Amino acid sequence: MKTRVTELLGIQYPIFQGGMAWVAEYHLAAAASEAGGLGIIGAGGAPAEFVREQVRKTKELTDKPFGVNVMLMNPEADAIAQMLVEEGVKVVTTGAGNPGKYMKIWKEAGIKVIPVVASVALAKMMERSGVDAVIAEGTESGGHIGSATTMTLVPQVVDAVSIPVIAAGGIADGRGFAASMMLGAEAVQIGTRFLVAKECVVHDNYKQKVLAAKDIDSEVTGLSTGHPVRQIRNKMTREYLKLEKAGATLDELEHLTLGSLRKAVVEGDVVDGTIMAGQIAGMVKKEQTCQEIMEEIMAEAEKLLKI
Ligand code: TUI
């Protein structure tokens, strides 16, 4: 299947593996790229030198295109932006902010820049600043989210810009892929289903929570702090929401979540840790290789779209 996105990036399938913080390290990114999609390393809150190693290790495992996601709230975002140029990374996605200040160095280096946007206004601003495509991410996604749904955001962004749009949030199978194409997207980004990929090194306790999750098992914490985060309900979300309702200060809330994603992903603490996952987790029921996931989605979608 060819779209402007497969042509732009030189990939076989218009499927991005979401650059999830702590989760999307080099094994997953290389496997997703080897399977024909776009594998993405999630820089999350990691230091620049750690991400540099991830880039080098990915290159050892695959010759195919891959990307790096820069989480713009990372205090080392400036150093990461520079490192990506030095390492010759070809595709950069960004999240949780406006990447405008890096556009000059990235475009001069020939990098394809694809920011996540959660509104039409930011999509238009990004197009004017010279990005190559945008990822329109709905509130169904896991992690840091905006408020618009994928169903409403994607067609409005498609109408507002002329660059390609990648749909994200709530997509995990061929039906979600086909629906995204109907909304005008030219690729999809998928996170939650890749969380349980065989090549994904997230702790098994985390995988089991995603596999067991039902449709309404996620909560959004941080609506009052301006940093809403979707995650699977557990002791952590119950405590957080109770504190939030009681009017806790930003400091108290931040203290509770400090290092909590790492705790769940690396240590497997799914009680006090943060289990970020999207609303589609209820449909994600089996662990498969990236190759199996990509091929299953494309086969289903091609049948539906009658390609
Ligand atoms: O970035 C994400 N998802 C994430 S980042 C993350 S790491 C983290 N860890 C702990 C606490 C908080 C975050 C986990 N999940 N998705 C992309 C995304 N970007 N979603 C929404 C946005 C967004 C929102 C507003 C992008 C830009 C924006 O406007 C910024 C502006 O300055 O106009």
CA-based nearest residue to 87, from 59, 45, 115: 59
Tokens 């987790």 belong to residue: 281
Ligand 1 pocket check: which of 40, 41, 71, 147 to mutate, most ligand atoms within 8 Å of Cβ?
71
Cα 87 to ligand 1 centre (Å): 24
Q: What is the residue-wise DSSP string for 240-306?
A: HHHHHHTT--HHHHHHHHTTHHHHHHTT--TTTS--B--GGGGG------HHHHHHHHHHHHHHHHT
Q: What is the maximum alpha-carbon separation in the chain?
A: 54
Secondary element (H or E) of residue 230: strand 229-232
Tell me the CA–centroid distance for residue 97 and ligand 1, in Å.
Answer: 6
CA–centroid distance, 117 to ligand 1, in Å, is 9
pLDDT of residue 307: 79
Contact criterion met (CB below 8 Å) for 34 and 10: no
pLDDT of amino acid 10:
98
Q: What is the DSSP string of 96-158?
A: SS--GGGHHHHHHTT-EEEEEESSHHHHHHHHHTT-S-EEEE-TTSSEE--SS-HHHHHHHHH
Tell which residue, 74, 124, 130, 133, has the closest CA to residue 105: 130
**pLDDT tens per residue across span 43-73:** 999 999 999 999 999 999 999 999 999 999 9
Give nearest CA residue, ligand 1 atom 17: 95
Residues of the chain falling short of pLDDT 50: none
Q: Which sequence spans correspond to the domains of the chain?
A: 4-201+284-305, 214-276
Residues whose CB is less than 8 angstroms from the CB of residue 152 and which lie 6 or more positions away in sequence, other chains included:
138
Residues with CB under 6 A from ligand 1: 21, 44, 71, 95-98, 116, 118, 122, 137, 143-146, 227, 229, 261, 276
Cα angle, residue 68 at apex, residues 193 and 299 outer, rounded to 5°: 35
CATH number (3.20.20.60, 3.30.300.350, 3.30.70.1230, 3.20.20.70) of 4-201+284-305 reads: 3.20.20.70
Q: Whose CA is nearest to atom 30 of ligand 1?
A: 97
pLDDT at residue 258, as a whole number: 85
Question: How many whole angstroms separate alpha carbon 259 and alpha carbon 255?
Answer: 9
pLDDT, tens digit (0-9, with 9 covering 90-100), for 204-260: 999 999 999 999 999 999 999 999 999 999 999 999 999 999 999 999 998 888 899
How confident is the model at residue 36, as a pLDDT? Answer: 98
